[in-house]
Chains A and B, each alone.
Chain A
Amino acid sequence: MLVTTALVFVFFVAPNDASDLGFAQRIFYFHVSIAFTAYACFAGGAWNALRHLWKRDPRADLESYVCIHQGLIFGTLVLLTGSIWAKIAWGKWWIWSEDELVLFLVLYLFYCAYFMLRFSVDDGPQRANLSAVYALFGVVLIPVSFAAIRLAKAYFHPEVFTLHGPNFGGSILVTYCIVQAAMLVLGYTLYRLELGAKLLDVRLRRLREVLA
C-alpha cells in the first residue's frame, strides 16, 4: 500500500509542478532525490553493520545487507538518470565533470564488490563480519571520494568552473521536497518488503528444520 502511495505522489505531484520547467529539470528532481535515497541506504547499511559488530545480532547483518542492496538499486537509477540528464544537458551520455555521477560510479563499483565479497563467503559469522566491516569502509569512502573528485578537477580542468544547479525557490523546492519524501518512502517500503521476505525465508527454513 505504501508503494502505491509513493508512486502516486511521484507521478502525480512531481510532473504537475515541473511541467513548465522542461524535461531536463524534471529528470534532475529524480536524479538528486534518488541519489539522496541511495546515500541514506548506504548510511543505513553502515549503521546496521556497526550494530552487528557491536551486538553480534544476525538480524542486523541481514538489515545491513538489505539496506545496501536497496542502495545499489537506487545507485543504478542514479547512474541511469544521470546519464540521461548528461545526454539532454550536454549531448553526451557520460561526462566526467559531474561530481556526483563520478562518485556514484566509484560507489557502484565499491558496493558491487561488497556483493562479490558476500557471495564468496559461506553463510555464518565470518560472512556477517566481513560484510559489516566493508560496509563501514563504504561510509568512510563516500566523503573521501567526494573530496578526491573535487581535488581531481583542479588538475583536469585548471580553470575552475562550477555546474549551475537550478536555483532553489518556491515551487521547485516544494516539488523537490515532495519527490525526495516520496523516494525515501519508496526506498523504505522496498527495504521493508525485502527484509520481510528474507526474514520469512529464514523462519521457513528453521521451521522445516524443526519438522525434519
Chain B
Amino acid sequence: MLTTRRLGKRYGEKRVLRKIDLDLPRGGFLVVTGPNGSGKTTLLRICAGLAQPTEGKIERAATRAQVGYLGHEPLVYRELTALENLELYGRLYRLPERRERIGMLLERFGLWEARHERVVSYSRGMTQRLALCRLLLHEPELLVLDEPYSALDEAGAELLDAQLSELSGERTFLLSTHDPARVDPLASDRLALAV
C-alpha cells in the first residue's frame, strides 16, 4: 500500500527527516512513535500526500480520494455547523449516498443532537469527534492519523478504539502517538523516530 525508500525532507537548510524506509502492506497497521520534533508529523503529511519529500521515493497505492488524514487541526470550518461541514466534504468527495452516511457517522460519534450547531460552540473533544467523522466520511483505504487521541476525552477515545479495531486488518493504517500501549494490540509494525 505504501513504500518509501531513503525518504528525506528538508525545509531549506533545516533537515527534518532522513533516510526513512517504510513497507506498509495493505491491511497493515504502522505505529510511529518519537519525541516532539522527530519528524512524525512531516512523515505523516508526506504519506498523506500533503507534502513532497525532498529526497528519496514514495509510492502510494491509493488515490487522493482513498486517503484519509487526521492531523492536529480538525480541518473543519468553525463558522459552519457540523452538518454543513460534512456536506461540503461529502460533495467534494462525491459520495453517492451522502445524507445517510453523514447521519450514520454523526449518530455514531454522538454529534447528531448538535448537528445544527456551529463548530465554534463545540468543546475540543466534540470538534475532534467531528474531525473523525470527516476522516471516515469517504471510507478511505489508507488512514493517516497524527496523534488522534490527543484531544479526545475517555469516551471519545473509546469510540476511536472501537472504530480502529473494527477497520483494522481491512484498511491500512499509519498512526503516530505518544501512547503506543493504547494501540499495541492492533499494531502490525512499529517505527521509532529519533530527533
Contact = CB atoms under 8 A, between A and B. Distances in A.
Interface of A: 56, 58, 122-125, 127, 202, 205-206, 209
Given A56-B52, A58-B54, A122 B12 contact: yes
A113 B89 CA distance: 36
B13 A122 contact: no
A-B residue pairs, 7 tightest by C-beta: A123-B12, A124-B11, A124-B12, A205-B13, A125-B52, A123-B13, A123-B11
Interface in B1-25: 11-15
Is chain A's interface secondary structure helix, strand, loop, or mixed overall? helix
A174 B8 CA distance: 54
A124 B14 CA distance: 9
Interface of B: 11-15, 51-52, 54
B11 A122 contact: yes
In this complex, the member of B13, B15, B51, B52 whose beta carbon has the largest number of chain A beta carbons within 10 angstroms is B13
Nearest to A58: B54
Contacts of A123: 11-14
B111 to A, nearest CB: 34
A209 B54 contact: no
B58 to A, nearest CB: 13
A124 B52 CA distance: 11
B11 A209 contact: no
